[in-house]
Structure 1
Amino acid sequence: MNEKRLNSIDIAKGIGIILVVIGHTNTPFGIGKVIYQFHMPLFFILSGFFYKDDYIKTPLVFLLGSLKRLYGPFVINGLRLFFIGLLLSYLILGTTGFSFLGGLKYILLIISGLNSPQFGGGAFWFLRALFILRFLYLFLNLIINKIENNSLKNFIIFVSVFVFLIIGYKTQFPYTISSTFIALFFYYVGNLYAKNQKYIKMNVFLLIPAIAVVICSSFINKVDLAYNTYTYFSLFLLTSICGSYTILFVSEKIKQNYILEYIGQKSLSIMIFHFLSFVTINLVIVFLYDLPIDRILDYPTIKEYRWWWLLYSVVGVIIPLFIDKIILGIEKMLPHYLIITFWFEKLNTKKK
């Protein structure tokens, strides 16, 4: 995998996470609706890009890596945000909103992966879904590993992924399991893209209709992958591919951009902490417009002040980068035995 291609994937992740942050603000002109057509599928596609067939040779290493990279950040950052939420609630409202047993139950749900903290939002369902589908995709590949006919292998994988896609669409299992089954399809698409990238040419004549499909769909198709809701599911699949193609096209044309690459490499930090960062703009709005103090805790933003979406977006990208720096700085000061327990595990994958 060449360095140029890795740069373009980092840039795609950078553009994608900026769109995620923008999509979680109260944008005008239907911008958020356009973003929701493809923004989460894009990240599952980019994740699937890094899956390698060699993982079936060392499945335990792959699974332990998933625990470290996904479950670790889910739990540790979930607990961080939970306690930060308690502190903010106490300082602003004079109460945490939890009894001792209620708080303990919530902590156990975070540790078990079954709940997300306040200010967590989409980041935590994404981590849980990616954690589960990586296990599932590896399991499917292990099952067919002994089949010698590659065409038959590919066919079985395709059919299996398609079956999970239909099950996901037709059900509403708790803890976003149904959405995870659908996300498996996009992970599979990303894996196909990685295997066939030399045959896939980014063509401007495909770009224009791809953009048109996404924009037109935003007027008629309400989409939320996390809640597994779509007006037209088949159209959602199409717009997910078209939107992801658009971002990959742009990222390959940019070729190299340090800022977007850095943002892409830190995309998980931004995904985890951008909701918390919105509180700073809530605070400014509360004081400027003399709103009740409890409006600081409005989630994700104070909606009636729509034209603040740009500042929310900027802060939602920049502040998590500072938080990431602080976490890594603390990590350097900790004894090694604490670091390997994931309490200050780095939030982002490294290039191989």
Structure 2
Amino acid sequence: MDNSIVGVRQNDTISIAKAIAIILMVMSHAGLPIELRAYISMFHMPLFFICSGYCFKDKYIGCFLEYVVKRIKGLYVPFVKWGILFLLLHNVFYKIGFYNSCYGFLGNVTHLYTWKEYIVHCIEVVLLVDSKEMLLGGYWFLHTMFFASFIAYCFFRYIEINMLSVGISLIISWLCLLFCFSIPYINIGYKEFLAATMILLGKEVKKYDIKQGWLFIVICFFIVLVASIIIPRTMASVGVISIIPYVLVSIIGSIMIFSISAKLTGKFKSIMIYIGNHTLALLTWHFLSFKLASMFIIYIEDRPAEQLAYFPVIPPIDCVDQLYSNWWVLYFLVGMLIPLTCCYVKERFV
């Protein structure tokens, strides 16, 4: 078989896998019941990092400058561009009700910025790759991916045995967790080394056939299900004891998604590839799109207008889980369709 055809098919599989990952992310943010969120969280963010490692090209090992330019264009520039824009619009969002001092994310609220705060936050965005804007809450991923990419690159370049690199990176991540250590200001800690571990594992996964049968997929599904019941974790909540099981389960879940991705055909495959090629737009705009759904819910349920500032979704009245919404389907559809429609219109007509 023509190697170029094989390469295209592999690229399609990775694009579809990224599409599934971003869909699961938007669903999770849309207010899914906690049991479904627990299942998704076992692998959906590690899947992005594993895809990155899968796509790593060996030519970059001898060409660091080219790799730096690629990472800056793909991660740093979008972070700064949208980070500055959302920062400049912070007070506008506050005045129209998207932010207020009563509602926010799990009790964390915000306020009108002074000029001094604008300058400080601008420096944080540009120099530290850090954003405090709730509407860009998902941008922790770009921060982590940016620094994890360079950590993984060092392992790729200076350690010949990739699985040795995986072990070292995982141990460093574990030690950072154990001693609660992170590099000051730029916040490189366990999460970045854990992400680097996933990137290294992605390059390892590339050596094997990722197209598996349905029996394998079903077995993987139940392994992840059991793990999500026994040790529900996210990348942000792993502990010293749970980090290794989490890594193992995330690999199993990612290979499950790769196998499903390789089986898709026809028009649905084309749609998923399109979504996979627009993950950054979905990451950037889905929280802001959620506000339209929140407006509708406030109108239908006759809620106080101040609840528009709930982040990311408006929970049911007297609901203990503030990340749950019984309108999660609406949030999900709005969070997906508005960014994708804007991308399509821009590409087609602008």
Normalised to the residue count of structure 2, the TM-score between the two structures is 0.84
- Given that 1:269 and 1:320 are in contact with CA atoms closer than 8 Å, whether structure 2 keeps it comes out as yes
Q: 1:102 aligns with which of 113, 117, 131?
A: 117
Give the structure 1 partner of residue 306 of structure 2.
Answer: 294
DSSP 3-state at the match of 2:161: helix
Aligned-pair identity (%): 26
- Do structure 1's residue 205 and structure 2's residue 210 form an aligned pair? no
What is the aligned partner in structure 2 of residue 310 from structure 1?
A: 329
Letter aligned with residue 169 of structure 2: V
CA distance in 1, matches of 2:130, 2:237: 15
Q: Which stretch shifts more, 38-47 or 154-163? A: 154-163
Superposition pairs of residues 260-339 of structure 1, within 5 angstroms: 260-304=272-316, 306-324=325-343
Q: Which amino acid aligns with 1:167?
A: L
Task: Measure the CA separation in 2 of the matches of 1:125 and 1:186.
Answer: 16
Q: Give the C-alpha shift of residue 160 in structure 1.
A: 2.9
1:188 maps to what in 2? 200
Given that 1:179 and 1:227 are in contact with CA atoms closer than 8 Å, whether structure 2 keeps it comes out as no
RMSD: 2.5
Code of the aligned partner of 2:234:
D
Counterpart among 26, 43, 52 of residue 47 in structure 1:
52
C-alpha contact 1:168 1:182 (8 A) present in aligned 2: no
1:143 to 112, 137, 158: 158
Aligned to 1:118: 134
Q: What does 1:211-290 correspond to in 2, within 5 Å? A: 211-229=221-239, 232-256=242-266, 257-290=269-302
Question: Quick one: which of 3, 27, 35 aligns to 1:30?
Answer: 35
- Kindly tell me: are residues 254 and 155 of structure 1, through their superposed partners in 2, closer, same or farther at Cα, counting changes over 3 Å? closer
Distance 2:241 2:330 in 1: 31
- Given that 2:238 and 2:246 are in contact with CA atoms closer than 8 Å, whether structure 1 keeps it comes out as no
Letter in 2 for 1:131: F
- Corresponding residue number in structure 2 for 1:70: 75
Indicate how the Cα distance of structure 1 residues 231 and 309 shifts in structure 2: closer, same or farther if over 3 A, else same: farther
Q: Retained in 2: the 8 A contact 1:66–1:131?
A: yes
- Letter of the structure 2 residue corresponding to residue 251 of structure 1: S
Instruction: Give the distance between the partners of 2:201 and 2:76, measured in 1 at CA.
Output: 23
Task: Report the Cα distance in structure 2 between the residues aligned to 1:153 and 1:259, rounded to whole angstroms.
Answer: 38
Q: CA deviation at 1:231?
A: 7.1
- Offset from partner CA, 1:238-287 (integer Å, 9 cap, x none): 22112112211111111451111100110111112111111111111111
8 Å CA contact 1:168, 1:180 repeated in 2: no
2:112 maps to a residue whose letter is G
- Whichever residue aligns with residue 118 of structure 1, its letter is M
Structure 2, unaligned runs of 5 or more: 1-5, 102-110, 318-324
Query: 2:173 matched to 1:165?
Result: yes
Name 2:3's counterpart in structure 1: none
Map of 2:96 onto structure 1: 91
Partner of 1:346: none
**Compared CA separation, residues 303 and 171, structure 1 to 2 (3 A):** farther
Question: What is the distance in 2 between the residues matched to 1:168 and 1:99?
Answer: 35
Q: 1:176 to 1:36 in 2, by over 3 A?
A: farther
Stretch of structure 1 that moved more, 309-318 or 107-116: 107-116
* SS, match of residue 315 in structure 2: coil
In the alignment, the residues of structure 2 paired with residue 240 and residue 171 of structure 1 have an alpha-carbon distance, to the nearest angstrom, of 24
Shift of 1:79: 1.7
Say if 1:109 and 1:190 are closer, same or farther in 2 by CA, change over 3 A. same
2:13 and 2:262 in contact (8 A); partners too: yes
Q: 2-side partners of 1:228 and 1:176: how far apart?
A: 16
CA apart distance, 1:326: 6.8
- Which residue number in structure 2 is paired with residue 128 of structure 1? 143
SS of the residue aligned with 1:223?
coil
Instruction: Please tell me whether the aligned partners of residues 147 and 192 of structure 2 are also in contact (alpha carbons under 8 angstroms).
Output: yes
Secondary structure of 1:197 counterpart: coil
- The aligned counterpart of 1:348 is none
Report if the CA contact (8 A) 1:213-1:239 is conserved. yes
Cα deviation, residue 325, structure 1: 5.0
After superposition, give the CA deviation of every residue in 1:304-325 in whole Å (9 maximum; x if it has no partner).
1722101101111111224445
Change (3 A) 1:50 1:230: same
Distance in 1, matches of 2:285 and 2:254, equals: 24
Offset of residue 118 of structure 1: 2.2
Aligned residues: 321
Kept in 2: contact 1:125–1:226 (CA 8 A): no
* Unaligned residue ranges in structure 1 (runs of 5+): 145-151, 333-352
* Secondary structure at the counterpart of residue 303 of structure 2: coil
